[in-house]
Chains A and B, each alone.
Chain A
Amino acid sequence: MNHTIIQAKNLSKIYDKDGSAQVIAVDNVSLEIYQGEFVAIMGASGSGKSTLMNILGCLDKPDSGTLILDGSEVGNLVDEQLAKIRNQKIGFVFQSFNLLARTSALENVELPLIYSDKQNITQLAKDALQAVGLADRLDHYPSELSSGQQQRVAIARALVNNPEIIFADEPTGNLDTRSSLEIVALFSELNQAGRTIVLVTHEADIATHTRRIIKIADGKIISDEANHNPVDAKTELEKIANAEVANENK
């Protein structure tokens, strides 16, 4: 088995609402994620899956429990060290893309590199955009790109610093079926190339493309199963394309 990237023990996160009612967003969750995995964290809206992902991705801090990321205990780290982990080890993809407006695709992808010590920023960013199939859209502003393309820019941004793990929070939530499949296909491709990917989604059919499905309800893990026969997004895309061709020929 590959080495453990994430080792979470008894993570809990509690929100106080108006001081009276407490909401337990993450309830005593323990899990491990290994290098090279393609994991879906599934659950209904409000199940705590996003909070869990934010904690695993060092964007948020748990109220209790420990998190060991790539060998180091996150709870003991200060702001500067956390920033370095987010910069070097983690890539994020968000539902709403979170690209900087009026900023070219290239510059958006350069963003994580700016906060690293790396040189050749522009070349690295170009390579990442090429990897997501947008080599010809370097100078386009987000407003000039389709939603699917915008999400691919965001994936390039997540990839550019060559992180250990990519967290994607509902990456297909704002996309149509076809673009969703394209994005999932891209994730599969990246995973096949060895990248660890954690995908948070509430859509069962998106989760079927992954190789491990963790289901969350009320902040607790209710199931954690391997998916031995992940659906191949590329095949599905071909099916859609064929159906379209058939439709046109009618």
Chain B
Amino acid sequence: MIFNSLQFFIFFIVVSLVYYFSPQRFRKSVLIFASVFFIVSFSFVSLMVVLLSSLLNFYAAQKSRHKILFYTLVSLNIFLILFFNYFTSASDQLQVLFKPIGFELNQLLLAIGLSFYTIQHIAYLIEVRRGKFAAETDFSIFLLASFYFPKLVCGPISLYQEIRPQFRFLKPTQQNIESGINRMLFGYFKKIVLADRLAPAVSSVFDFNDDLAGLTIIAASLIFTIQLYFDFSGYCDIAIGVSRIFGINLIENFDFPLRSTSITEFWRRWHKSLIHFFTHYIYYPIAFKLRKYFLFSTVVAIILTFTLSSLWHGIGITFLAWAFCHMTFLCVEFFFKQYCNNFKIKSNNIVKGIQILCVITLVTISNIFFRAPNSDSLSHLINQLFLLPNYIPNDWLAEFIAPLAQGGHQIQLFNFYTSLVLAFVFILFERKLFAKFNSSKLNYFSVFIILILIFVFGVFGNSSRFIYMQF
């Protein structure tokens, strides 16, 4: 039951109505039952995994002074992420192995949202051990904080100390509801109109091992970068909107990352909740331990943090290569800032524009590795990019437009260009649009316009999954 499905829409309406007509003391239970129902709609195994994981972490936190138990539980949480990521990455090969004994591997793969709530559990254990707050004594609250359905599947990763106090007072206001609806519409527009319209262009280049010109691959990766941003930030907008309607504020996960003027800034604006976790629980401890070595400590901390980040996304050469790109970009940027501080250009709009283009280009290059479905496809793409002499297409329509526009017939061309124009215009006016759809006042005219745009330009039918659901 994903956010852009009819089932979710019906589920959400029913839950909201039951929630509002319930006395305040029962609202927590409504959210717990709704979350259970939501998870079971994916798989029963997912529910079992989240229950077991929450139970273990709940009791372990109460005995967090016990060093061995603490480290065992943190290791177990890390093992859980790696275990499920390994099964996801190696699913094709393992499927063949398990088939003769009749074991349904797909059931295991669907531990929905595991990477997200496990991170929250690890942060919770660490903070309790550090003495920042006392361990939770009410399991129902702990469970709800772990599997609260709006943020379960792809985040934003909510730290326990941020979300827990909000469960005490579940009384949404008129403003909550209006701003929630605004934000949900904004998210649905990003997903259904922008991301899903760009998806076919990306898929036709990355999911089939066709021989393509290098520039076509770069263009597809650029489109993927934009698609990924709309898809993931769209999910977060919907999650934030849904949650606001229940009177619970989730943290912002994106801050216009495609406007970053450096890679460091990009990582401050992209998937902020995950970066917060990696910065505070992995990067800082490493950098602090090695701080006597000054610049060297930063480099080691960057390398280890991004290696772990790649393992969090999945096990395989594709994510490692993606992480390697970003380690390199960040280290080069860091040393440039340290040693070339005399090289300063006066910042103006043109310089800023060039910097933004550079960042988007670098992120686009790294996303070739991120999007490649497996190592075989990756090596094929790299071959096309660097080893073959056909970087610039000879026939632009046949070798550039056609692969991106799924054949390049008239209607496909029209769809492709419309998608690009919509995405471009949206990015151009994104800040203004965000301000409008993040406001706590429902503007009926804007709602009407966005609904019309969704119904005219949206992609309906097979509701496509959100990209970050695989992690």
Instruction: Say whether A and B bind each other.
Output: no
